[in-house]
Amino acid sequence: MPDEPTDAVALDGLVRRRGERLVLRDLTLAVPRGATVALLGPNGAGKSTLLRVLAGLLRPSRGGCRVLGHALPRERAAVKGRIGVLAHEPLLLRDLTVRENLVHRGRLLGGEAATPARIDALLEATDLVGRAAYPVAALSRGLTQRAAAAAALLGDPELLLLDEPLANLDPVAAERLGALLGPAPRSRFGAAGPRTRIVAGHDPEAALAESDLVVGLRGGALALLARPADVTDAEIGALYR
């Protein structure tokens, strides 16, 4: 078995442009395997863009971007299926039912991901058993978010990229999904350790309490990189000022 990389994510001068604009500016950072990262920053700071680059949905414009030991975009195929993404756009097919979406996603992932038992367990865990036969187009935003969470977890991913994962959820669903999407001890990856999570959000207090590393973006640049215990109120304030 090849050596697993220590870092789940390693960025070296990552730049992402949108036309002429720099949306991510020269980001250099490393996320150890198994860490939970709180990704903070004001609206438009670049959080979603960074998650999309890490997910292989957007190409870096310049700089190094290694995910689970593989350089993106070149080695994207090697990490396919090892990353779970819960984004603002739910990445579901609206005309298919919830269950059909999970079956379809399982086929894309290949392997054993979408056994009927695993799909049933995820429908149960997201409290969607009664909605499994609904087309996604007929779901409310919160229910769609729950279906997207089930899809993100289907492949039992090593890296979870979560963009405001509890947005649109009622309190009971938020608690349930919070636990489901939380740190998961992993045995499958042996020495590679537990699941790595990068969670973008707008609640600094909760983010600090639940993370091992705080990454703050401002104007697409790295404005904060620290362990939660070392982050001061002034630093959080400066991020949003």
Ligand X SMILES: Nc1ncnc2c1ncn2[C@@H]1O[C@H](COP(=O)(O)OP(=O)(O)OP(=O)(O)O)[C@@H](O)[C@H]1O
How many chain residues are in contact with ligand X, going by CB under 6 A?
A: 10
Interface with ligand X includes 90 (CB under 6 A)?
A: no
The shares of helix, strand and coil residues in the chain, as percent rounded to the nearest 5, are: 35, 25, 40
Phi then psi for residue 126, to 5 deg, are -95, 5
Q: Where are the beta strands (DSSP E) in 171-237?
A: 196-200, 213-218, 221-226
Q: Measure the CA–CA gap between 24 and 58, rounded to whole angstroms.
A: 12
Shortest distance (Å) from residue 71 CB to ligand X: 22
Sketch the per residue contact string, 1 through 40, with ligand X: x for CB under 6 A, - otherwise: -----------------x----x-----------------
Least separation in angstroms between residue 46's CB and ligand X is 4
216 near ligand X, rule: CB under 6 A? no
Burial class (CB in 10 A: 0-12, 13-18, 19+), 152: buried
Distance CA 16, CA 25 (A): 7
Which residue from 43, 170, 172, 234 is in contact with ligand X, where contact means CB under 6 A? Answer: 43
Angle between helices 116-125 and 98-109 in degrees, nearest 10: 130
In the chain, the amino acid numbered 204 is P
In angstroms, give the least distance from the CB of 19 to ligand X.
Answer: 7
Scanning 6-14, 44-52, 105-113, 180-188 for contacts with ligand X by CB under 6 A, the matching segment is 44-52
207 binds ligand X (CB under 6 A): no
- The CA-atom distances, in angstroms, between 224 and each of 184, 215, 238 are 26, 5, 10
96 vs 168, which CB is nearer to ligand X?
168
Query: Contact region for ligand X (CB under 6 A) — 27-35, 42-50, 73-81, 117-125?
Result: 42-50
89, burial (CB in 10 Å: exposed 0-12, middle 13-18, buried 19+): exposed
Selected range binding ligand X among 46-54, 69-77, 89-97, 172-180, rule: CB under 6 A? 46-54
Based on the shown chain and the rule CB under 6 A, indicate whether residue 44 belongs to the binding site for ligand X.
Answer: yes
49 binds ligand X (CB under 6 A): yes
User: Six-digit token pair at 214?
Assistant: 């705080």
Is 59 a binder of ligand X (CB under 6 A)? Answer: no
Residue 47 binds to ligand X (criterion: CB under 6 A): yes
Question: Considering beta carbons, is residue 80 or 202 the nearer one to ligand X?
Answer: 202
Residues within the interface to ligand X (CB under 6 A):
18, 23, 41, 43-49
